[in-house]
Every structure is written in structure tokens, then in C-alpha cells.
Amino acid sequence: MTTTFPFEADAGAEDLKSVGTPEVRIDGLDKVSGAAQFVDDIDFGPNLLHGAVVESPHAYARIISIDTTKAEQVEGVVRIVTGKDFPYKFGLYMEDRYIFAQDHVRFVGEQVAGVIARTHRAALQAAKLVEVEYEVLEPLLDPMAAAAPDADLIHPDLAEYTHVPWFFPKSETNIAHWRKIRKGDTDKAFSEADFVLEDTYNVPRYAHCAIEPHVTVSRLDHAGRLTVWSASQSPHTQRHLFAEALAPLGFTHKDVRVITPYVGGGFGGKAGVSMEIIGVAMATTVKGHPVKVRFTREQEFYNTYQRQGVVAELKVGVKNDGTITAVEHKLYWDAGAYVEYGANVVNAAGLSATGPYRVPNISNDSLCVYTNLPPGGPYRGFGYSEFHFGLESHMDRIAEAIGMDPVEFRRKNAIVEGDELSYGGHMNPSGLIEAIDKTAEAIDWGVEEESDNPNTVIGKGMALFWKAPAMPPNASSASFLKFNEDGSVNITVSGMELGQGYLTVMAQIASEVLSVPVEKIRVETPDTDRNPYEWQTVASHVTWSSGLAVEKAAIEAREKIFEVVEQAYNFEDDTLYLEDEHVKSTTSRDFVLPLADFVIDGIQLDDGTWRGGPIVASGKFMPEFTNANSDPETGQGGHPNVHYTVGATGVVVEVDKETGRIWVRKAVLAVDAGRAINPDLVKGQITGGLVQGLATVLYEDMRFDENGRLLNPNFTDYKIPTAFDIPDEMIPIIVEVPQPDGPFGARGVGEHTMIAAAPVIANAIYDAFGVRIKTMPLTQERVAMAIRGES
Amino acid sequence: MRVELNVNGEDWALDVEPADVLLDVLREKTGVKSPKIGCERGDCGSCTVLMDGKTVRSCLVLAVESDRHVITTVEGIGRERLSQLQDFFISNNSFQCGFCAPGIVLSASELLELNPQPTREDVQEALAGNLCRCTGYEPIIEAILAASREESS
């Protein structure tokens, strides 16, 4: 059984000119010449003020008093604000966060007050002089302890928080959301299974480490207009949350304008609203002045979203022939002090925690647990990277236990089109088997390799991945398109160019429909006053969703072009087509009309009058086939996910027997892009995502002390990959089984490329030494100790 | 304190504070924005500029140390026309978000100046001080090697 889609895009179209080609990025010149402007590069003149944040040194404490007297005496200080000035809550999926702390602080780094000053230096100096008296409380740092029934409550008012209807908070506990899936009969399946494996896997927290820090400049002008320049993935969502949170100050959506120029990397860290609201709130107190808040690298680590840690208890049952019969996956998420965004990571993981397998009996519990660590939030992979570590380690172990090759085991159980999903929907068309086979072939799976070096051992690993966009069921995209006098085109959308190549891909889609070359199409970054709505640039959904909106706008423009030409030259319906920027006719071979001749000025008739006028168009897309309503106890009944993107990863590693050092000699990743609108950009996502994912398993790791303070908030102690730390060889493989409702068959690939990087290394280490490491990261030290049989 | 420096071919005489770093002075007082603020402690390389043709991290150079020196940023590299290396970066779709690009263009330009025929390892070493979180470096390394091959042919 297959899903039918209400909107049939050109999924199977052939003979394409721009789509499917490795066009040069339309933002390439900007970036290589230094012309690309980021928020911090915009000049605001002499009345620009600078904001600094006073932060909690405690993971959990009650605020007794705040004394700003000394800080106010610093030369250049203009104003100091605290939670008293802004007693407002905000949040994307659950309103559990305050702009500034009210009576309690719940993590080290939480904003207690804000200082506005004429210089950055004065603001920082004054922030240090704000005296805050605390009653220090015992923090809860471990999600298992925090989830216990007798644990102290981090949010005693949880039951009163506003949240989306698909969250299920448990009042009088620290469980902010509990996503359950119950399908089939797992008890029976486990009792009838030939083999059952049960184990626990641990994944710590990680940092996004976009190289551009978070920065906003906010200005409330004297006419009451609030403009925010923001390094953000989510301009419209930011406008919405600013307008909602500050509604008591009299703002409506039309009064708030968010402008987002190029952003220097996001990876989820610049989605939603985190630090931005601090600067916005401060600016409302100094009318006429733009206020800049730019986080330091340290703040980037401890006071923006972090990837949540998870403790994963996994039980899988199989038959001797290798058929998976049941999966029970319990995920205890260390979600941090506020979960307004992170709870949806938990939700997404809970819906899909079986991985890309056909599983008839499922019991998933994904628990969003408050802790006194920094707020968890979206990070490339959105929960899937985390649970795939245990899941894909487990699959190798089961295969070995029943004497089956791990690749064969995966092929046998790989989910295929029409298979039932955990929540009752059906799997979309997918090239998973092809991805598995091509990946296995690329690493010579099954061929044992000996190292030339007596001190090292070669290991190979394979792992699969899948992921669906995690979005509200009505998350939508829109686009405007207009022609210019010379036949060039301007498109406005509100997806963000994060580096993935979104602007280029949108241009390619329009190019294909309109026969206008990509070089003649300009797609600009958003300004919420002028660009049409986009939910957010997250979930790897914009190529698909915004791409559909652009395709529809281009089709509408094409229809308008045909309409005016038909009218002016008396052509029959459906006899015109576009080619090389000209209108041509299937019935009159000599008819060739350049677009530039009429897309603004129109066409003059014999009587001297004109027809037509500027060609403008719009397009929108909302996935009208989804809904998030389901039974809270079973997760059945809804259709929360639009589709899954799948793939496989394989590595060949060389490992030093003594030191545990791992060299990734070859890394292969095959992803089913549906259709690669731009294969070069898909390959860019593969190499970039692979390296980012490999770092999470090889060395990255956020370390906290017993008081909840982050010990490594900088690039010296939290090492991210340099040009030396990449695999010797990376082989990107693009599989293309079209997504029926995707623009030219495309689906997203951005996040997917890092999801299987961790288990694939764990599996390769097992292959090399027969040791199984169940805690990330697999540092040199941990590997060396495991090889020696120490834990 | 007064410093005189040449930035991308233009002479500047500027009043600076003793604690000012070159990065802030370039961005705030000369309006040259391509050197970026990424970590302010010399880890990320986003603020890389050429001082008398050699790469420095401008966040670690005091403005007074740049007195009577010649500073080149990426705007200065491609002022008349883009360098061949820049062309290769564009045609190879080397960069994604582009925040690290100004620094990497300068580090790679310095490399090709000193070592026109670098090996892959030479390139990796030259880039080791410039962090990029998007690309996995591979398309950047390939473009630099392609530019060096073009130069020699």
C-alpha cells in the first residue's frame, strides 16, 4: 500500500536543464570576495548601544536580591534591566522560559540581568559589577535521577504551561513530555523471539559550534516600530515569538520586522528563539537606539541550545532467520532547564526510534526530562543522531549473535515503500536497499584487510539512518516571484541560506520551470516585511517545502506569460512552451518571442493598445495530508511525519592497538535525495555532515563539573575538526528514488548525513578488536582501555 | 595612540586605545568587515589577515603592533579581479555558510605564494588554523590543489 499525495509535482520529469546539474552557487562570489554581509558586519552609526548579560554562576538557585548600584556608576552605562522589567514567558512548542530569570535560575549561565552601555567594554565591565544574592539549591544534573518519582521539581508549575497539543507533560514530575508508541504486542513478540538483546547506551551533550556567534541588533524606533537584525534560521518564527512574548508592551506582528542577512552556520543552534529575545527586550527600554548583543564563544557553548544527552535502554527481539519481531526503546533525555524547543526533539525521536526497519511490535518511550543543565534544543539530526548510536550498535550485535552478516541482516529488515510505520502510516518510496548495497561495495564489505603496520588494526563498519522532518503539521512555505525588464527574475522566500545552498536550489527550480538561466535569477535572504512566510529553515525541509512553493510560483508566472501571449497572438490553449528565455509555439514553428520583450512592458496589438503588464506570481505549500493528533498512550491515529529520507554509512578505520587512536581511512555515505536538485550541494552536505558526525564520536564531548558548570566552553578544550582531522577519503553516493510530492522528486538530506557517523565507528572498532563501546564519544583513551579490557 | 597603516592599498592614520586589537580597528575604524569575530582567542582563524604578506590572527594582534605595516584582507586580494584561487573556490562550490571563507582564502593564498606546488598534506597544514564547521574541508582542499595545478600548467 502506498500513500497518495494531493499534490503531484514533477517527480519523474526528464530532460531537465538546470535541475540535476552542479550549478555554481549563486552566493559563491559574495562569500569568496568578502562581500557577504553577516549581522555583525552592518553599521548602525553613533547611537548604537551594546548589551551584556549578567549570568547565573549556579545551576539551581533562588534569587534573593539584585543590586545594580555599582554597575550603574560605570561610565557609559545607559540602563540595566532585570526580570522585574520583563515578567513574560516565551517558547516555541512550550512556554516554559522567561526572557530574564524571575525568582529562580535553573542553569549555569542563565540570564539574570542585562546591561546596556555606549561601548561593548563598558557593558561587560558593568555586568561584572551587578551584585546578585542567591540561595543555592541542589541541582539535578542526571536525567535518570531527575525522572525519579521523588525528585525535586525544577518546574513546579509545569501543569500550567501552554504547549502544543501533541505534548504530554506529567505534572508533579520533571517529565515535560512523554512520547509513547505502542504497536502490536511486544510482550508476546519477545516471549516468542528466538533471541532478545537488551542493553543501555549513553550519549552526552554536544555543541553546534557554528563559527559565527549568535548576534542580534534590535531597535525600537520613535514611531513604535521594532526592527531586529538577527543571525537566525527562523526569521518568521522569531517575529512571531517576539510579538507574542512582548504583546503586553503593545506590539503586534506588523510592528515587528526581522531581517536576516547571511548566517554563518546554524546546525539547529540558530533555530527558534534563544538569546535573541534578550537583546530585543533590552532595546525596548532605550527607544531610538539600536542595541547589539553578540555572544562570546564561551556563551555560545553554555547559553545557546545544546544537543541533549540521552540514556537509551534498548531491547530488540529477532527470529533465527533474522526477522526483527519487536523493538522496545526507552529514551531518557537530559533536556536541560527549559525545553520549549527541545521537547520536540524528544517527540521526533520517540516517533521514529525503531530506525529504518520493518518492526511489527513496538514500544517506544521518549521522556523529556528537566535537568539543571543548559537548555537542550535542535541540533542537526534532531534526536536521530542520538538514538541511532545505540540502535545501530545493537543491530550489529544481534546479527552477530544469530550468526548473520550485519549487512545481510539490515537488508532483510530494511523498511521499504508501503511498510507500516510506528504510528500507523506507511513508508514512502525509498532507495534504502540501493544505499546499503552501494555503501557495502564501496568499502569492500566482507573483505578482511590487514594493516601493513604491526601496531595497527583495520576495522570496517556499516550503519543505516533515517529521519523525517520534525515539524508542526501545518508548517508552511511561500514565495513571491517577479520578472524584470531584461527578463531576469527576483524571487523572495523566507528560508535561510545557512550554507546548504538553499538560494541556489530555489533558483534552479525556478530556472527549470521558466527556462531562465540561474545566473539571471536573484534569490535574497529574508526580511519579514517583504518576504513571504516560511516556518523555519530546520528539519531538512526547505528544499522540499520551500522548493514546492517556488515551483508553484514559477508555474503561476508561466501560466500568466502564456495567457498574455495567447491573448495577444490568438494562440489556442496549451500550445505554448518556454525554451531558452523565449516563448515558443507547438503549432507555429516560426513564433519565437523573447521573455524580455514583454514581461514588464506587455505586448502591443495592431491597434496600438497594450496587453499584459508586469509578470508577478506567488506560490505556497502546506503539507495538508499530515496531522499530529494521536492517542497519547499509543501514538496511533495521526500522520505526524511527511516522509523519511534514508541512507547508509560505511567506514574503514585503522586503529593503533596501544594508544587507541583512530584514523578514518575511508568514509562512504549514500543518501536517497529523491532527486539531487544540485548534486554538488548534496555532496557538500555529505562531506560536511560526515565530518561533523565523526567528530561527535571521536572526540567532541561537553564536560560538566558536579555543580553543572561546563568545563570546556572554547575551541581549545572542545575540539572540533580541523583540515587535518578528516577522513583520508570520503565517497559521497547519491541515490535517487523520487519523492512523489517533492519538487522534481527531491527530499531533504542536510541533517541525515551526520546521523549514522557514531555507530558506524563503534561497529568498526568492534570489527577490529571485538570490543563494544556503549558510551560516546569513543575517545582514544576509551578505545585504548576497551582494547585492554578495562572500562 | 596614533597608528599609521596601509589597508588594502589605502593609507590610514588612526587613534587607538592601547588595548585595541587589530581586528576591531579594521572592522570599526576602517570599515573592512571581512575579518570576522569568531572566538577572540586565536582558535578559529576567522579573523585571519595578511600583515606584510604573512597570515596573522588579527584578534591577537594589538592595533599598535600594526603601526607602519601593510594589511591585506580578502577585499584586497580580489580588488582588481578575483585571483585564480578565488575562481576555483567559486567553481568548486567550496564554501557553504562562508563565514570562514575570508580567512581561508588568505591562508590558502599565502600557501600558494610560498609553496606553489603543495601536497594535500601541505594544504591541510596550511588550513589547520582556520576552522570550518560546514564543509568537512574536502571541497576547499580540492580547489586549492586544482588552483596549484592550473598555476603550474
Q: Assign residue A424 a region (left: φ > 0; alpha: ψ between -120 and 50; beta: otherwise).
A: left
Q: How far is A203 from chain B (nearest CA, A)?
A: 21
Nearest to A303 by CA among A713, A707, A20, A784: A713
The overall average pLDDT reported for chain A is 97
Query: SS3 of A768, please?
Result: helix
- Residue contact A267–B138, C-beta within 8 A: no
Binning pLDDT at 50, 70 and 90, where does residue A11 land?
confident
List the single residue in A with minimal CA-CA distance to B90: A28
Neighboring chain A residues of B135 at a CB cutoff of 8 Å: 684, 687-688, 691
- Residue contact A262–B97, C-beta within 8 A: yes
Neighboring chain A residues of B73 at a CB cutoff of 8 Å: 34
- Which percentage of chain A shows pLDDT scores above 90? 98
Of A265, A680, A681, the CB nearest to B97: A265
Please tell me the predicted confidence (pLDDT) of residue B85: 98
Neighboring chain B residues of A687 at a CB cutoff of 8 Å: 135-139
> What is the CB-side half-sphere exposure of residue A136 using CA atoms within 13 A?
7
Pick the residue with more confidence: A6 or A545?
A545
Neighboring chain B residues of A209 at a CB cutoff of 8 Å: 133
- Residue contact A722–B43, C-beta within 8 A: no
Neighboring chain A residues of B95 at a CB cutoff of 8 Å: 25, 28, 31-32, 499
Angstrom distances, CA of residue B70 to CA of A617, B4, B8, B17, B67:
51, 10, 8, 20, 9
Binning pLDDT at 50, 70 and 90, where does residue B11 land?
very high
- State whether residue A45 sits within 8 Å of chain B by CB: no
Neighboring chain B residues of A692 at a CB cutoff of 8 Å: 133, 136
- Residue contact B40–A297, C-beta within 8 A: yes
Please tell me the predicted confidence (pLDDT) of residue A9: 54
Please tell me the predicted confidence (pLDDT) of residue A3: 42
Neighboring chain B residues of A379 at a CB cutoff of 8 Å: none
Please tell me the predicted confidence (pLDDT) of residue A791: 65
Contact A261, A15 (CB under 8 A): no
Please tell me the predicted confidence (pLDDT) of residue A580: 98
Q: Assign residue A121 a region (left: φ > 0; alpha: ψ between -120 and 50; beta: otherwise).
A: alpha
Integer Cα distance of A753 and A691 in angstroms: 9
Question: How do residues A575-601 score in pLDDT, each as one tens digit?
Answer: 999 999 999 999 999 999 999 999 999
Which grid coordinates belong to A560? 500568466
Question: How do residues A360-400 score in pLDDT, each as one tens digit?
Answer: 999 999 999 999 999 999 999 999 999 999 999 999 999 99
- Residue contact B136–A501, C-beta within 8 A: no
List the single residue in B with minimal CA-CA distance to A679: B93
Amino acid at A94: M
Contact A161, A340 (CB under 8 A): no
> Is residue A181 over pLDDT 50?
yes
Question: How do residues A130-170 score in pLDDT, each as one tens digit?
Answer: 999 999 999 999 999 999 999 999 999 999 999 999 999 99
* Lateral strand order in the sheet of A521-524: A521-524, A489-492, A477-483, A616-621
- Residue contact A211–B46, C-beta within 8 A: yes
Of B46, B93, B100, the CB nearest to A25: B93
Angstrom distances, CA of residue A111 to CA of A59, A66, A108, A358:
12, 12, 9, 46
Q: How far is B152 from chain A (nearest CA, A)?
A: 22
Binning pLDDT at 50, 70 and 90, where does residue A10 land?
confident
Please tell me the predicted confidence (pLDDT) of residue A12: 74
Of A212, A689, A722, the CB nearest to B99: A212
Question: How do residues B38-90 score in pLDDT, each as one tens digit?
Answer: 999 999 999 999 999 999 999 999 999 999 999 999 999 988 899 999 999 99
Residue B149: its H or E element: helix B138-152
Contact B23, B70 (CB under 8 A): no
Question: How do residues A492-524 score in pLDDT, each as one tens digit?
Answer: 999 999 999 999 999 999 999 999 999 999 999
List the single residue in B with minimal CA-CA distance to A687: B136
- Residue contact A690–B136, C-beta within 8 A: yes
Of B39, B98, B123, the CB nearest to A499: B98
pTM higher than 0.90, yes or no?
A: yes
Neighboring chain B residues of A36 at a CB cutoff of 8 Å: 98, 101
Round to the nearest angstrom and report the end-to-end CA distance of chain B: 49
List the single residue in B with minimal CA-CA distance to A42: B33
- Residue contact B137–A36, C-beta within 8 A: no
Please tell me the predicted confidence (pLDDT) of residue A14: 81
Question: How do residues A475-484 score in pLDDT, each as one tens digit?
Answer: 999 999 999 9
- Residue contact A715–B34, C-beta within 8 A: no
- Residue contact A297–B91, C-beta within 8 A: no
